[in-house]
C-alpha cells in the first residue's frame, strides 16, 4: 500500500492537485477584487498587517509583533463581521453568469442597442429628465432584477424615455439591461459608502457608484438637476460626457467584452 501511495504517478498527481488548488485560490481572490471594488480595501489591510508582522519579527519589535499576532489570530473574524456585506456580495457573484440570457449579442446587435441607449440619453439630457441605466456584464444582477419590475423588452429609445418620464411609476429606480433587452426597471441599488464625494452628487450618482462597486456592470446616468451625462464603472465616475463621447465609450467597452468572449 505504501509503495502505491509513494509511486511517482501519485506524487505527480498530488503535486498537480496542490498547484491547481493554490492557483484556484489566487484566481478567486483576483476575481473577487475585480467584481467588488471595496474588497480591495480588505486585501490592502491584510497585506499591511502581514508586512508589519514580517518587519516586527525581523527587527525584534516585541510590541508590534504581539499586536500583529493578535490581529492575525482574531483578524479573520473581525474582517468577516466588518465587511460582511461586501464578502457576501462578492462570493455570491464570484463566477456567476447571468441567468436572464445565455447568448452573447453580436456586434451589430450591440451597436444597435448602443444607438438606442444614446438616443434616449441625449433626449433626456436635453430635457433634464433623470435616468439610471445599468448594463449587465459578466457579474449577474439577478438579485436586483428579481426585486424590480419585470420588463423583458427589446432596448429602444421610446421605451427608455417612456420609463424615465417623471409621471411614470418606475422613473425613480434603475433600469437593468441584459444582452439587448430591458430586463427590469424600478431597481433599487445599494448606495456607495465612499466619503468625500461632491455634494452635488445626488441619490442617482451614489446608487450608480454603489452598483459599480459590487459588480462589473456599466451604468449610465442623467442628472435631472443639470442634464449632465455620466458613465460609471468599477466605482469610478466619468462626468460631463457628450452623447458622442458616451457612444464611443460604450462601443469601446463592448469591443473589449467581445474580444474577451472569443
Range list of H helices, the chain? 2-5, 8-35, 39-58, 62-82, 84-93, 107-126, 142-147, 157-163, 203-213, 243-261
pLDDT of residue 101: 46
Domains of the chain: 2-93 (no CATH), 107-261 (3.40.1700.10)
Question: What is the Cα–Cα distance from 244 to 248, expressed in whole angstroms?
Answer: 6
**Which uninterrupted H or E stretch holds 219?**
strand 218-222
> Do strands 236-241 and 149-154 pair parallel, antiparallel, or not at all (unpaired)?
unpaired
The tens place of each residue's pLDDT in the chain, 262 residues long, gives 555 556 677 778 878 888 888 888 777 666 666 555 566 667 777 788 888 888 988 888 888 888 888 887 787 777 677 666 666 666 665 555 444 544 578 889 999 999 999 999 999 999 999 999 999 988 888 889 989 999 999 999 999 999 999 989 888 899 999 999 999 999 999 988 787 888 778 889 999 999 998 888 999 999 999 999 999 998 899 999 999 999 999 999 887 665 555 5
What crossing angle do the helices spanning 8-35 and 84-93 adopt, rounded to 10°?
120
pLDDT of 38: 60
How many other CB atoms are there within 10 angstroms of residue 155's CB atom?
24
Can you spell out the DSSP letters for 161-203? HHHTSTTSTTTTSEEEEETTEEEEEEE--PPP--SS--TT--H
Q: Please tell me the predicted confidence (pLDDT) of residue 93.
A: 57
pTM: 0.67
What's the chain's length in residues? 262
**Radius of gyration (C-alpha) of the chain in whole angstroms:** 23
Amino acid at each position: 500500500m505504501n509503495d502505491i501511495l509513494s509511486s511517482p504517478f501519485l506524487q505527480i498527481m498530488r503535486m498537480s492537485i496542490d498547484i491547481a488548488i493554490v492557483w484556484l485560490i489566487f484566481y478567486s481572490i483576483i476575481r473577487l477584487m475585480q467584481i467588488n471594488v471595496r474588497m480591495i480595501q480588505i486585501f490592502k489591510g491584510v497585506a499591511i498587517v502581514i508586512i508589519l508582522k514580517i518587519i516586527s519579527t525581523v527587527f525584534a519589535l516585541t510590541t508590534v509583533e504581539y499586536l500583529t499576532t493578535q490581529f492575525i489570530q482574531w483578524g479573520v473574524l473581525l474582517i468577516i463581521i466588518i465587511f460582511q456585506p461586501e464578502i457576501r456580495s462578492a462570493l455570491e457573484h464570484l463566477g456567476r453568469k447571468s441567468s436572464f440570457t445565455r447568448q452573447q449579442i453580436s456586434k451589430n446587435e450591440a451597436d444597435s442597442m448602443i444607438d438606442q441607449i444614446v438616443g434616449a440619453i441625449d433626449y433626456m439630457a436635453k430635457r433634464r429628465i433623470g435616468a439610471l441605466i445599468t448594463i449587465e456584464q459578466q457579474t449577474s444582477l439577478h438579485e436586483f432584477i428579481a426585486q424590480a419590475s419585470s420588463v423583458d423588452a427589446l432596448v429602444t429609445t421610446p421605451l427608455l424615455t417612456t420609463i424615465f418620464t417623471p409621471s411614470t411609476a418606475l422613473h425613480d429606480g434603475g433600469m437593468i439591461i441584459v444582452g439587448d433587452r430591458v430586463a427590469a426597471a424600478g431597481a433599487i441599488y445599494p448606495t456607495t459608502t465612499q466619503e468625500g464625494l461632491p455634494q452635488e452628487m445626488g441619490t442617482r450618482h451614489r446608487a450608480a457608484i454603489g452598483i459599480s462597486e459590487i459588480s462589473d456592470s456599466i451604468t449610465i446616468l442623467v442628472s435631472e438637476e443639470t442634464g449632465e451625462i455620466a458613465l460609471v464603472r468599477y466605482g469610478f465616475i466619468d462626468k460631463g460626457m457628450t452623447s458622442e463621447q458616451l457612444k464611443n465609450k460604450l462601443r469601446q467597452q463592448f469591443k473589449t467584452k467581445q474580444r474577451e468572449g472569443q
